[in-house]
Amino acid sequence: MKGRLTLWAFVRVCSSVALGAMMLFSHAYGEDSASKLTLTILDPEKAATTTTREAVNVLGRTLPAAKVTVDGQPARVFATGIFVRDQVPLALGSNRIEIVAEHGNERAVETISVERLARKDESTPTTAPQRLQLEARTVEPQGEIILSPGDEMVVAVNGTPGQIAEYRVGEGRWVGMVEETDGTSTAPTGRYRGVFVAPGGSERSELALQFRLRANPKSPVRIVGVRQATLTPKTKITLWDGTKVRLARTRADGVGLVHGLHEVRLGGPYLAVLPKDVVVRVTGKRQGYWHIALTPTFDAWASAQDLELLPVGTPPPHLFFTLVSVWGDDLSDVVTIPYPRSARVPFSMTPSLGPAGRAQLCVDFYGAHHAATWISHRPSAKAIREVRVEQPAREHVRVNIELNSPQLWGYLTEVTTGSLVVRVRRAPQLVEAPESPLKGLTIALEAGHGGPKNTGARGVSGSMEKDINRMAVDELARQLREKGAEVVEARPGDSNPDLSTRARRVTESSATLFISIHANSADQSRGYLRVSGTSTYYKHGFCRDLSDAIHKRLLEMTKMDDFGNVGNFNYLPIREVTWMPSMLVEQAFMSNPEDEAKMLDPEFRSTMMKAVVTGIEDWLSAQRELQKQQNK
């Protein structure tokens, strides 16, 4: 049946938990009239609980057609049978909350007891007497640290607020630290910070980092006990001699360079991803990352496990080339840049839109100088208008590949024995209107997550993201084929290939576009209904308009809340797939019972995937019109 899964097809793709959620959903179509009324409280998990929060969220399950009240106020009941009332207010002390479900002549009642405790003040009043203390677990930095002369390093520690804090490295002098204050109350926080600047001189290894806290006689905090506390964490600092050159080489393909040290869920953002045997200059080490000097004014960081140190004194590589070749084969335009093994300096690739409104690719080499006097353009090149070489800064050479069109359709890089080869994809042949521009194209799809362990987010009714994604991709594939497109999948069935394998499969398919389908999730502590909506994601600038076109259609056709069209997103498959425009759809929120019920609804799923298809067609139609104008 159009827009619906058969029971057998559903059983094939869903776990027993997700099947239970769909069975609950089916009650919304009148199948629950003979069912016995049930009432189960899912959150809070226990009938009696304690909290310091001012409100509690109540979540449960009943018949979809039932009416539910929580503490006398109506709760929202969804097609899955999940009901919710967010932010039920709590008084200090004991709170008795009654949940009532009614269906026909049946009535079910459950009661939960919530004890609201007075919130303990986060910071100890400055007038209360305290003992001097320093907390080892709050020390920054930790582990092995290597610094070159002039490097700055922030040191920090938590301790008794309002006191005099100092640090020193090795047997050096004690240096004062500054205490942070609360942004609202300006009260002292007990977080002390300072900056250490690595001195020049001879090399010194494994110096201790020490902290000292002394009682401040002018502080309103009265100190009892000892008047001074010290702390020597396990941090060890090595100071390098700045006169020595130190190099490291990438151990394998795929070594990421990041701009700084931080932690984000998907990693990155990455300045570059280097192939094997690229040599970089290292100047220090922190948090398991080597500090890399790309040019005298530009640096980056790479995981220490991805690099091997070369003997001290090894001459650094330096790149220059006098010629660049531009030509074309049957599938793409090709730019060949000399890149001998003896000069494997780091490089990065950046797609962008040039000042003339044409797409461009910038290849930046670090540790190079401009020597190109012969840039050969062959007429077999169809997509590339011109290649230029320039030197923006010392040790920095840029090869600018400018296209004829505003749209880049994809690119690949390959390191051969003596060259860096950049392939620029040509625009596909799109069928003329009124045919769908999808006809004859190949679209790559990925259903996010998969397999018995990588199930993704869990919905409030018990559904699993991998199943919701799989059902969506199956529907999307069906609709794409109806439009005349071919479909390839990065994750067939319930398999779970790693993310790099998924990206490789998509690239090797030479599909025209890549669409990844996921479902979102958010923290529910402030309410199950607080965050909802649909959103789209892209990494590279040349994918932005495709993502935006799909996003607009999702909002228009599903009427869902807007969670945004998000750029610079580092999900590995859409980051690594550069051979075609690629983007990701987060259908809605598994953590929101209304969103979850919609994603489990076959009719809504059909509408949502139709919005994706229509958005693709909108974007392709615009490209078709652009191509027509260019060919005049």
pLDDT at 7: 31
pLDDT at 628: 87
Per-residue model confidence as pLDDT tens digits over 530-576: 999 999 999 999 999 999 999 999 999 999 999 999 999 999 999 99
Query: Does residue 470 share a domain with residue 418?
Result: no
Kindly state the average pLDDT of the residues 429-438: 96
pLDDT at 584 > cutoff 80 = yes
Tokens 């799109």 sit on residue? 430
CA dist 110 and 45 (Å) reads: 13
Token code pair at residue 629: 């104008």
% the chain with pLDDT above 70: 93
Query: Does residue 207 share a domain with residue 146?
Result: yes
Query: Does residue 510 share a domain with residue 614?
Result: yes
% the chain with pLDDT above 90: 87
User: Residue 207 is inside which H or E element, if any?
Assistant: strand 204-214
Q: Domain ends where: 425, 452, 480?
A: 425
pLDDT at 3: 37
Q: Give a yes or no: residue 142 inside a domain.
A: yes
Q: Give a yes or no: residue 293 inside a domain.
A: yes
pLDDT at 311: 96
Kindly state the average pLDDT of the residues 617-626: 96
Per-residue model confidence as pLDDT tens digits over 171-201: 999 999 999 988 777 788 999 999 999 999 8
pLDDT at 123: 46
pLDDT at 460: 94
Per-residue model confidence as pLDDT tens digits over 476-486: 999 999 999 99
pLDDT at 24: 42
Confidence of residue 10 (pLDDT cuts 50, 70, 90): very low
Q: Give a yes or no: residue 455 inside a domain.
A: yes
Query: Does residue 151 share a domain with residue 70?
Result: no
Query: Does residue 146 share a domain with residue 44?
Result: no
Give the CATH number for residue 451: 3.40.630.40
pLDDT at 12: 38
Per the structure, the complete domain to which residue 273 belongs is given by 247-309
Confidence of residue 16 (pLDDT cuts 50, 70, 90): very low
Query: Does residue 97 share a domain with residue 62?
Result: yes
Confidence of residue 34 (pLDDT cuts 50, 70, 90): low
pLDDT at 603: 98
pLDDT at 121: 53
Query: Does residue 398 share a domain with residue 339?
Result: yes
pLDDT at 473 > cutoff 80 = yes
pLDDT at 20: 44
Q: Give a yes or no: residue 616 inside a domain.
A: yes
Query: Does residue 395 share a domain with residue 364?
Result: yes
Query: Does residue 509 share a domain with residue 462?
Result: yes
Give the CATH number for residue 301: 2.30.30.40
Give the CATH number for residue 77: 2.60.40.10
pLDDT at 631: 80
Closest CA to 442 of 180, 281, 620, 299: 620
Distance of CA 373 to the CA centre of its chain: 42
CA dist 180 and 31 (Å) reads: 61
Q: Give a yes or no: residue 11 inside a domain.
A: no
pLDDT at 168 > cutoff 90 = yes
Per-residue model confidence as pLDDT tens digits over 239-266: 999 899 999 999 999 999 999 998 888 8
Residue type at 117 in one-letter notation: L
Give the CATH number for residue 418: 2.60.40.3500
Per-residue model confidence as pLDDT tens digits over 293-346: 999 999 999 999 999 999 998 999 999 999 999 999 998 999 999 999 999 999
Kindly state the average pLDDT of the residues 590-606: 98
As a whole number of Å, the end-to-end CA separation of the chain is: 45
Per the CB < 8 A criterion, the answer to whether 393 and 341 are in contact is no
Q: Give a yes or no: residue 317 inside a domain.
A: no
pLDDT at 29: 39
Q: Give a yes or no: residue 621 inside a domain.
A: yes
Per the CB < 8 A criterion, the answer to whether 233 and 169 are in contact is no
Q: How many domains does the chain fold into? A: 5
Query: Does residue 408 share a domain with residue 519?
Result: no
Q: Domain ends where: 368, 392, 425?
A: 425
Confidence of residue 591 (pLDDT cuts 50, 70, 90): very high
Q: Domain ends where: 309, 332, 360?
A: 309
Query: Does residue 331 share a domain with residue 383?
Result: yes
CA dist 48 and 41 (Å) reads: 12
Per the CB < 8 A criterion, the answer to whether 74 and 68 are in contact is yes
- Planar angle of CA 547, 549, 553, nearest 5 degrees: 115
Per-residue model confidence as pLDDT tens digits over 540-551: 999 999 999 999
Kindly state the average pLDDT of the residues 410-436: 96
Give the CATH number for residue 159: 2.60.40
pLDDT at 423: 98
User: Residue 362 is inside which H or E element, if any?
Assistant: strand 359-366
Kindly state the average pLDDT of the residues 394-420: 97
pLDDT at 617 > cutoff 50 = yes
Query: Does residue 47 share a domain with residue 107?
Result: yes
Q: Give a yes or no: residue 347 inside a domain.
A: yes
Q: Provide CB contacts within 8 A for 7, sequence distance 6+.
A: none
DSSP strand pairing (419-425 vs 411-415): antiparallel
